[in-house]
Amino acid sequence: MSKRSVGVSLPFLVPDAGREAGPLHRQLYERLRDAILAGTLAPRSRLPSTRTLSQELGISRGTVEEAFAQLDAEGFLERRVGSGSVVALPDHARGPRSGPARGSMPTPRLGGLSRRGRRMASDVLPPEPRDVRPFTPCLPALELFPTKLWARTVAKQARMLEPGRMTAGEPEGFRPLREAIATHLGPARGVRCDWRQVLVFASTQQALDLTARLLLDEGDGVWLEEPGYLGARVAFESAGARLHPVPVDANGLRLEVALARAPKARLAYVTPSHQYPLGVTMSLSRRLALLEHARASGMWLFEDDYDSEFRYATRPLAAIQGMDVAGRVLYAGTFNKVMFPSLRLAFLVVPEALVDAFTAARAATDGHAPPLTQAAMAHFMESGHYAAHLRQMRLVYAERRDALLDALERESRGALRLGAAEAGMHVTAFLSEGLQDVAVIARTDERSLGARRLSPLYLGRGRRQGLVLGFSGASPAGLRAAVRTLCGLLDGPPRQPPRARSHASAAGSSPPSPGTRG
């Protein structure tokens, strides 16, 4: 078969001289390779000589030779002395002649995914904002974090690195950190555990995902608080579980409704100390009833204690894990909301019977968390810096919470009705009749306020309209300015002011159930 000469499109091959575009030989290699794969350069087509191409492109012959040599090594060209260079890739091995533009990404097709993969691809959590916004929920006061102290802690641990700590880490986590966590959780959260029950993760979301894989089969029932944390819904739905929304009132999850809807559910996800997003606390009687049902039925309880270290009227309430005598509670906490979000350190306290299974599964997923970060966190806790930072942030966040609530009382003119606000890093504000949170958030997003919609956090019908407003990440002055901006975006005539902030009024004498209006 005779070789065909080819006229090379010079504008297509001319490399970009800009530094950002990369070396000239690499640019020429990539453009020739893409042309071969796309069929622009047909099989057995002869390319110009390196001398000719270098003259026509205005680049050195050595640059062209380097690109041709790489194409030859990878099988795209066939080079013979005296015969020049020809396209060697056979026609059946080429890619499609038409496709997405260079640099673009094709839209993934869900048809080739597994059932679990399709669920994961369709249930995507919204991205977290990378900038600091005044109403972003659960955002720490980053400007007050002891950055220099943390940097010295990390540097000290880095200097102490030895070969044994530079290889693979333990799947369950760095032992000194696990010991420090167990020591902290006893007096601070009422958690009863041995350090061996503590596993270190990057986030609560990762712990949720692994829990769903280990404890749930396809079709198993899961109770979810209604409204509730979207990340839990995504994790359990991706695992193929059947989700059963259970309404939350002033005393927490309504167990009688849960039992009526799904008495044989295998797992319940709860935030008893500070419900997300409504902010209420589960009553003692319901905690005990939930634990008794878990003991009698074999149900697992996933307790997400995401921000209840911050309680302002009383001491932080004890976790339900400390009252569990049957070993049915998995207790999750995170450092990412106390320290800073990009730290990526969280933990899960599992019943003794599950330790080996979770350790093996942890090794089979991503192996382990970064040992250096874990070592730094362990030293930060052992030296008392973590406890000191917590104490300072409780005072700071109490001041910021008061600033937010005072500003809302003055500015909202009754358009917002406040939920419970005795703990945590956010407050839920219910919109008055006629206001839709999707429209309000569309306006606030233009001002980069960071507020979140309440209605998508409902799984069932009867979604209430409201806003989830964080207060921990902005100064009192910044919060007051943000409230003025927010309230200026709300439509409607003046209304009655919102109710007071006492515990009774914050939780509400009538339950903030999904079907009522704010």
Instruction: Verify that 196 and 48 share a domain, yes or no.
Output: no
Instruction: Verify that 373 and 357 share a domain, yes or no.
Output: yes
pLDDT at 101: 45
pLDDT at 125: 67
Q: What are phi and psi of 504, to 5 degrees?
A: -65, -45
* Residue ranges in the chain whose pLDDT is less than 70: 1-12, 15, 17-21, 89-111, 123-129, 165-166, 168, 491-518
Query: What is the chain's Cα-based Rg?
Result: 29
pLDDT at 509: 33
Give the Cα separation of 184 and 331 in Å (integer): 14
Host domain of residue 73: 4-93
Instruction: Verify that 184 and 298 share a domain, yes or no.
Output: yes
Q: What are phi and psi of 467, to 5 degrees?
A: -125, 140
Query: Considering the entire predicted model, what is its pTM?
Result: 0.77
- Whether residue 210 is contained in a domain is answered as yes
Q: Which of 325, 358, 387 is the endpoint of a domain?
A: 387
pLDDT at 265: 97
Instruction: Verify that 192 and 209 share a domain, yes or no.
Output: yes
Residues 62, 64, 70, 71: what is their CA dihedral angle, to the nearest 10 degrees?
-160
pLDDT at 494: 39
Give the Cα separation of 393 and 180 in Å (integer): 20
- Whether residue 115 is contained in a domain is answered as no
The span from the first CA to the last CA of the chain, in angstroms, equals: 80
Cβ contacts of residue 94 below 8 Å, gap of 6+? 36, 37, 38, 39, 43
Instruction: Verify that 327 and 471 share a domain, yes or no.
Output: no
pLDDT at 114: 80
Give the Cα separation of 484 and 282 in Å (integer): 33
139, 396 Cβ separation under 8 angstroms: no
Instruction: Verify that 226 and 340 share a domain, yes or no.
Output: yes
> What number of other Cβ atoms are within 10 A of residue 461's Cβ?
8
Which residue carries 């919609």 as its tokens?
453
Q: At what angle do helices 385-411 and 371-382 cross, to 10 degrees?
A: 90
> What number of other Cβ atoms are within 10 A of residue 334's Cβ?
25
pLDDT tens digit string along 463-493? 999 999 999 999 999 999 999 999 998 854 3
- Whether residue 26 is contained in a domain is answered as yes
pLDDT at 500: 39
pLDDT at 513: 32
Instruction: Verify that 400 and 493 share a domain, yes or no.
Output: yes
76, 33 Cβ separation under 8 angstroms: yes
> What number of other Cβ atoms are within 10 A of residue 83's Cβ?
10
Identify the CATH number of the domain in which residue 316 sits.
3.40.640.10
pLDDT at 491: 58
Task: Count the domains in the chain.
Answer: 3
State the SS3 of 22-82: CCHHHHHHHHHHHHHHHCCCCCCEEECCHHHHHHHHCCCHHHHHHHHHHHHHCCCEEEECC
pLDDT at 512: 32
pLDDT at 92: 54
Give the Cα separation of 251 and 509 in Å (integer): 10
pLDDT at 234: 93
- The amino acid that residue 47 corresponds to is L
pLDDT at 510: 33
Instruction: Verify that 347 and 426 share a domain, yes or no.
Output: no
